Chains A and B, each alone.
Chain A
Amino acid sequence: MIRYLIFLLAALLPFEAFAISAEDVMKKSQAAFLYQGKDFKARVMMKLISKSGQERIREMTMLRKNYGETGGDQKFFMYFFQPADVKDMTFMVYKYPAKDDDRWLFVPAINMVRRIAAQDKTSSFVGSDFTYEDVSGRDIQDDTHALVKEEKLAGKDCYVIKSTPKAGDVDYSYKLSWVDKGSFLPLKEEYYDKKGELSRAFSADEVKDIKGFPTITKRTMKNLQSGHRTEVTYTKTDYNAGIEDSLFSERYLKQPPKKWIE
């Protein structure tokens, strides 16, 4: 009997080994989307576009450094160029998995560094259609993930994953992600509200190879209910630039080093 069972398990094993679980897809996607390289740098241009076509600009340099494995701690440093009333402001985030982030804002007009209180999950990032969580990532364990189907999107084979939040901590009921089987980058995401209607849609509009890392250099988040959208372009993108730990400090928030923010 036991020998028979072992044989049965051995026969099943190859199937298990080749299939990838939905959670693994999302873990790989997180690694490709938010954790590539030891560090990362980009000049970020955000266009906030209203339904009527009115545009607002947010321009910043974003620096990110990983501490530990994928899904582990990260530090972010942002320096704002535009709009004019936030010029020279800097913003720093220490991101931790499974607990709230630490955030600091520097206001140059009064030379003041302050902690700021904000909830990741529902806060808009600088007024855009992205939330903080969209920018810095959501913990894999916060959702249950299921493989819905596999299909081609713009010529790329994709896994389509449905992620359902375990707690009602966000304003959507589930999210569908089209994850590229090759790069594991999310090429498209759809957020459905509590009524099951499509509320927000993300698309990766341009993917470039930067130092061997496939990177989304153009992306759009559209709010389908308000008609407002945010288009983001990354330029001056770089990985493994050697960002020092000391950058993520009050000293450099007040006096951001030119070599990093340009």
Chain B
Amino acid sequence: MNGVHDMGGMDGFGKVDPEPNEPMFHEEWESRVLAMVRAMGAAGAFNIDTSRFYRETLPPHVYLSSSYYKKWFLGLEEMLIEKGYLTREEVADGHAMKPGKALKHGKFDLANVERVMVRGKFARPAPASAKFNIGDRVRARNIHPTTHTRLPRYVRGHVGVVELNHGCHVFPDSAAMELGENPQWLYTVVFEGRDLWGADGDPTLKVSIDAFEPYLDPA
């Protein structure tokens, strides 16, 4: 979706503000949100793509004015309500009113903690051979899906070169909508900065994205 989350190349957000010796969390609640998101994801309430989609669909003014963990919290709460894991009444009351719904991987307890400390596996067996080879010129499709996609706007319509092939991976566009994993070949595609940003752009700049095969056409 063409949401405000798709920020690459936008102007007006100001300077980067490095914070010397920043704490790991600025508020204790941030750590609880982090842990709840990891735990409920590991318990099977949602996948990583769905959780990203819920954050992206926050109203633009909410997205832009909320801190990182606030976005996580708002996305989590809405996602769990919509998926039937809790109700708006329970959220308003602050307590459970009826028993929980079964989780795909069961309750998240201490025995599950080490599991979330390792990144998930997203590689899948290939359903077909790869359409592109390293060195191929490809054009990022000019697509504007209203649902989740990982093709950023700033590369759409531009030609780049396939640099790496990562194998077949879960396709976020499908997984986010719970339409299945639909594995697709994944490539690193590199673009010339001036192709993306025009003649005034940095002549030395190259920018790459990781692009799933359905995002690309031969060029």
Q: Determine if chain A interacts with chain B.
A: no
Interface residues of B (CB under 8 A from A): none
